[in-house]
Structure 1
Amino acid sequence: MKKGLRGLYYSRNEMDEMVAPLKFALVGKFSSGTPSIARIRARFAFWSSKDFSPSAESLVVPVWVSLLNLPVAFFHRKSIHNIACLLGSPLKIDEPTTDYTRPSFARVCVEVNHLDPLVNDIWLGDDDGDITQKVMYKNLPLYCPTCSHYGHVERNCLLKAPKNKNTPDVDSTSQEDLRIILDKKKSKLVEQPS
């Protein structure tokens, strides 16, 4: 740790090793065919678990992370993987990052646990110095610890909201009953002088 941040340090030799593939780089893009069944199975193998419960939502979610203005020397697959390990469990590095075709930022997909605090800054260093790297999470799903479901935050949770005694329970009231109640409320509003 340095400056209170999680980080990685690379020696001059490690930096030279990571930059070596770029020495005579000529970037091209080729479409690849369908992946093999073995490769597909390997991607989904992490989903199997003895503790799996269909009624409980997983606390671990895949999230794309962007590293804006990451120095190109750190675009090496090994470095991106090590950086991803500081944030969660690495799942995938996007093609433009591994192909060095988008030098403005690197992207990696990591599994993050909603109970763990998100890492917003990391430091990276080598023999020439160090930098603080900002970490940006893309489309992090909303999570409610009260009901353990995704899609909303705790302050909007229906389980946590106090029940209003004047509000009918929608599950036990038919649509016709709701229409009558709403019509009565509308007529009371019209009758009241403003």
Structure 2
Amino acid sequence: MDAAGAAVGAPARPRSYADLVAQTPQPIPEVEVPLRPLKMFEGVPYVSFTKEEIDRSAQPFKFFLVLKFLRRRPSLDNIRAFCWWHWGLVFQPVISAMANPRSVFVCLSNEEDFIKGFSREAFEIDGVPYRVFHWSPEYVEEQELAFVPVWIFLLGLPPNYYHESFLRNITLPLGQFIRRDNCTRCATRTDGARVCIKMDISKPPMDEFWIGVPNQPSSWLQAVVFEKLPQFCMHCCMQGHNLKMCSRERTKIQGGDGKLRKIWGRKDKKIDGKAGCSKEVGTSEVQPT
């Protein structure tokens, strides 16, 4: 398969933006659940689904991405065309708006296209930077997932370990293997392996781990170099800054021991016209001045 994604059974690539936009999206596969009686809780009706049903409902969306632009997003047509031409996709992506005006769904139909979009190293369309997330039922538009694609370099890894099946196992302590770069795939650079993984950036990064039984003659500590590791704030669940730089509301109070403490809290939100409840999410001590 070449860079243009020519494959047996793949549709002809559109010749223009208009051709791309004109193509008709296909219905998603239906997931059936039984009809059940309406439930009541303290006089309020509600519906609920089992975890297994929710997991099945998410299967048709397993190759969906969310692009969250850091400024006003480009038009849907421009995003659609950019993803098609610059990502080198095999099948046409379906791009749709989300409730957040800066975010879009990118609906991809196969794993190959998903990997191309998720592991991109340049996150910018029409000069507007964006962050990419793998959509799941846990995705919340007001927050950002801590699981993101990160490129790493396994310094000094011998070239006989560059096989994809080996790298899938080797990167398990760090996250989920996404893909290796072309130099690693072809072993044209043998001072280490460069790999994209899906990792949890809310946890401290692991800069080394053992390959083989620890402290045995045939084993070694493998060094890990992270490229552009994003910062993540546990208070507001957003990327781009850490806890110390968080701009969420902070209030100083004085305790009985004479020390000042910072109370971090979320601002009240209105839901259906009703005020939500504020929530303290952490404290840190500050010496009085």
TM-score scaled by structure 2? 0.41
Could you list the runs of 5+ residues in structure 2 that have no partner in the other structure?
6-88, 92-109, 119-132, 253-289
Within-5 A mapping of 1:103-122: 103-122=190-209
Q: Does 1:63 align with 2:34?
A: no
- 2:173 equivalent among 81, 86, 90: 86
Point out the structure with the larger helix share. 1
Q: CA RMSD in A?
A: 2.9
Instruction: Report the 3-state secondary structure (helix = DSSP H, G, I; strand = E; otherwise coil) of the residue aligned with 1:82.
Output: helix
Amino acid at match of 1:113: D
Match of 1:130 in 2: 219
Aligned length: 134
The 3-state SS of whatever aligns with 1:98 is helix
Whether the 8 Å contact between 1:146 and 1:160 is mirrored in structure 2 is no
Aligned partners of 1:124, 1:134: CA distance in 2, in Å?
10
Kept in 1, the 8 Å contact 2:159–2:190? The answer is yes
What are the superposed Cα offsets for residues 39-60 of structure 1, whole Å, 9 maximum, x if unpaired? 3257669933222221111111
CA contact (8 A) 2:201 2:230 kept: no
Q: Deviations over 1:100-130 (max 9, x none)?
A: 0110121111111133332221222399711
User: Separation in 2 of the partners of 1:102 and 1:44?
Assistant: 24
In the alignment, the residues of structure 2 paired with residue 160 and residue 139 of structure 1 have an alpha-carbon distance, to the nearest angstrom, of 28
CA separation of 1:106 and 1:160: change in aligned 2, threshold 3 A: farther
* Secondary structure, counterpart of 2:160 in structure 1: helix
Q: CA deviation at 1:31?
A: 6.2
Question: When the two structures are superposed, what TM-score results if normalisation uses the length of structure 1?
Answer: 0.60
Please name the residue that 1:16 is paired with.
none
CA contact (8 A) 2:115 2:178 kept: no
Pair 1:82–1:153, CA change in 2 (3 A)? same
Which one has more relative contact order, counting CA pairs under 8 Å at least 6 apart? Answer: 1
Task: Identify the match of residue 231 of structure 2 among 125, 142, 151.
Answer: 142
- Please say if residues 124 and 131 of structure 1, whose CA atoms lie closer than 8 Å, have aligned partners that are also in contact: yes
- Cα 1:146–1:128 change in 2 (3 A) is closer
**Structure possessing the higher radius of gyration over alpha carbons:** 1
Give the drift of 1:33.
Answer: 2.9
Structure 1 gaps of 5+ residues are 1-29, 164-194
